[in-house]
Each structure stands twice: as structure tokens, then as C-alpha cells.
Amino acid sequence: MNVLLLGPPGAGKGTQAKRLEEAHDLVQLSTGDMLRAAVTSGSEIGKQAQVIIDRGELVSDGTMIAMIRERIQNPDCMKGFILDGFPRTTAQAVALDLMLSEMDRRLDHVIEIKLDDGVVVERITGRFSCANCGTGYHAKFKKPKRKGICDACGGSEFSRRKDDNAETVTSRLEAYHRQTAPLLPYYQASGALSGVNGMADIDEVTHQIESVLEAA
């Protein structure tokens, strides 16, 4: 079973991908991790990617597709994989489908986690973490049990990512709507697309996703 998760930043795609990975013995594929691993390994694809990175350019769609092709041939992907963060454009989606077809595989489910823009901004701008152990918190949804004290390690220093601000989040949302939202009609036409309510709590979103998988 091969799954693609779509949704704006802050939709919880990473959290849900991890739950799917554990529940169904799938492999979560991060294109960023694959890129770093390819470069470190010194493989032919990695060498090509390193040259592009050294020039300060973005890795081409062809290189990304080649890395995914190489990765999903590994034995741990036998039962399937989860993509989160790729494809981002219709051109990438078409290239991915072509590559999978050549391997006699396909995306079985494309699941959109739907979320209002205002909620995305609230979720991301409220995030902070323990500076000592990295445990994540939220100013509204997940506060430490004792104010100013990390639940996990007892630390009292906290930090926020510099890009977790309203201006940056709004810019990322605009990019998502401009580039990634057109993927929805593409996958709708293939019959693979389903939607779940990302406004619900984490467990409910997981339940909705499982219902989509079971209905197939």
C-alpha cells in the first residue's frame, strides 16, 4: 500500500505518517532525508545532487524521482511507503506516476488533510520546544504541566523556530495554494483522492485516515 499525504504546513502530515508507518509496517519517505543519504553514500545520484547543491541550485525533479525509484526498491519498502512533501507540483506528480507505472506500482491513496488557513497560522506560531531535550509544546494546545518547566527533562529554557512567525507562515501558505493545491484535481481525476478533516484532534484524524484505507 502506497500513500501520499497532502495538506498545508501545520496540518500534521508528519505525525499521521508516523502513525501509518507503525500501524501498517510502511516506510515514511522524506525526500530531504533521501537527498542527504544519497550525498553521504557517494552514489551516482548523490554525486549529481552534490554538484547541483554546491552550485546553490535546487535539485531537479528528475533527480528526486531517481532517488525515490532507488529507495523504494529496498526490501523495507516491500509492503509500501508513505510520501509527505513530494510531489509539490503537478509536473512532479506526473513524473512520479510515470516512474511508478514503469515499476508496476502506483499510489493507492492520496489523502488531503484539510485545514483552514487561520488554524494553520495559530498552530505554527504557537509552537515552542524545550531547549534542552527538544520536547515540543504549544502555547494553546499543549502547555507544560508546570509553567516554565519541561515535562520530559525538567528544563526551564524554551525556544521557538525563527520561521514560526505569522509573516513566514502566511508566505508558506501562499506557496502551498499556488503550487500544491492544483494537485488535488489531478488526483481527483485518477480516483485516488480522499479528504479528512484536519481541524479535528490528532486521534480523530488518524481514525478518519484509517477509515479511508479500510474502505478501499
**Which helix or strand (DSSP H or E) is residue 52 part of?**
helix 44-54
Residue 178 burial class via C-beta count within 10 angstroms: exposed 0-12, middle 13-18, buried 19 and up: exposed
Query: 127 an active-site residue?
Result: yes
Q: Which three cell numbers stand for residue 98?
A: 510515470
Q: Which three cell numbers stand for residue 144?
A: 507544560
Strands (E), the chain: 3-6, 27-29, 81-84, 109-114, 127-130, 136-138, 158-159, 193-197
Query: 160 an active-site residue?
Result: no
Q: Which three cell numbers stand for residue 119?
A: 488554524
Of 18, 146, 161, 178, the catalytic one is 161
Of 47, 79, 88, 106, the catalytic one is 88
Of 69, 105, 114, 127, the catalytic one is 127
Of 13, 19, 71, 123, the catalytic one is 13
Query: 172 an active-site residue?
Result: yes
What's the CA gap between 37 and 33, in Å, rounded? 6
Query: 161 an active-site residue?
Result: yes
CB 98 within 8 A of CB 121: no
Q: Which three cell numbers stand for residue 167?
A: 509573516
Query: 69 an active-site residue?
Result: no
**Catalytic center residues:** 13, 88, 127, 161, 172
